[in-house]
């Protein structure tokens, strides 16, 4: 692979210059103390993560082009990623793609067949009877459930909660699978979690 290429995505390339540009943009937007110093192992891992974001964006853009559907009816980013828990569930790379309306249209198509069964709702309620119970405020800050809620009362909220989480998992599964199919990473730009690359510090 050409030394100026960080990754190949199908017939497209992600160049080292692309990674450089995204890193510069990130460093201009984020506090200098929040990012690793250039030239360190952590900085190389950051560049690997940036490469993952760039290839994911291209994979999703290719899918959006294949769909040829308008994205003006796509869900909002807030709907798909309402909080930090949702972002952690889907992963930072997949989450980063969803700032684009076209990607959110892909999300809607890819996850449109996901369903939640009545049994899943019932099991969740048995394990978490207080999750959707009414809450009282204590001393203006703390909240506690006033009691459990019947399955009938909580079913709709539980189903929505489970469906949103299941759709995020399906999108991430789809994106990981598509990247595995069409992406080739250059040496030095491997996945940050790849145990074969020298800067991966996770050990068992």
Domain definitions of the chain by residue range: 5-185
> Distance between CA 95 and CA 93 in Å, rounded?
5
CATH architecture, domain defined by 5-185: Orthogonal Bundle (1.10)
pLDDT given for residue 134 in this prediction: 63
pLDDT of residue 204: 41
Q: Where are the alpha helices (DSSP H) in the chain?
A: 16-29, 41-67, 77-80, 84-90, 92-97, 101-110, 118-127, 151-182
CA dist 90 and 169 (Å) reads: 6
pLDDT of 142 reads: 52
**pTM for the whole thing?**
0.85
Residue ranges in the chain modelled with pLDDT below 70: 69-70, 134-148, 202-204
| pLDDT tens per residue, range 175-185 | 999 999 999 99
Single out the residue of 178, 171, 190 nearest to residue 9, CA to CA: 178
pLDDT for the residue 60: 96
Q: What are the φ/ψ torsions at residue 99 (nearest 5 degrees)?
A: -75, -15
pLDDT of residue 46: 95
- pLDDT tens digits for 112-142? 999 999 999 999 999 988 788 765 555 555 5
Residue 180: the pLDDT is 96
pLDDT of residue 150: 82
């Amino acid at each position: 692979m050409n030394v100026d290429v960080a990754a190949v995505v199908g017939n497209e390339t992600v160049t080292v210059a692309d990674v450089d540009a995204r890193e510069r943009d990130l460093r201009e937007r984020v506090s200098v103390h929040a990012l690793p110093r250039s030239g360190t192992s952590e900085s190389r891992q950051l560049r690997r993560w940036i490469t993952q974001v760039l290839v994911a964006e291209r994979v999703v853009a290719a899918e959006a082009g294949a769909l040829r559907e308008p994205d003006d009816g796509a869900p909002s980013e807030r709907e798909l990623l309402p909080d930090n828990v949702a972002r952690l569930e889907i992963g930072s790379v997949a989450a980063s793609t969803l700032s684009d309306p076209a990607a959110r249209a892909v999300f809607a198509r890819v996850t449109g067949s996901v369903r939640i069964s009545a049994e899943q709702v019932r099991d969740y309620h048995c394990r978490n009877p207080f999750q959707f119970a009414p809450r009282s405020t204590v001393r203006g800050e703390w909240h506690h459930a006033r009691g459990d809620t019947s399955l009938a009362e909580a079913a709709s909220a539980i189903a929505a909660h489970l469906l949103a989480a299941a759709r995020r998992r399906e999108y991430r599964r789809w994106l990981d699978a598509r990247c595995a199919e069409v992406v080739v990473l250059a040496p030095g730009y491997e996945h940050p979690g790849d145990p074969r690359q020298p800067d991966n510090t996770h050990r068992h």
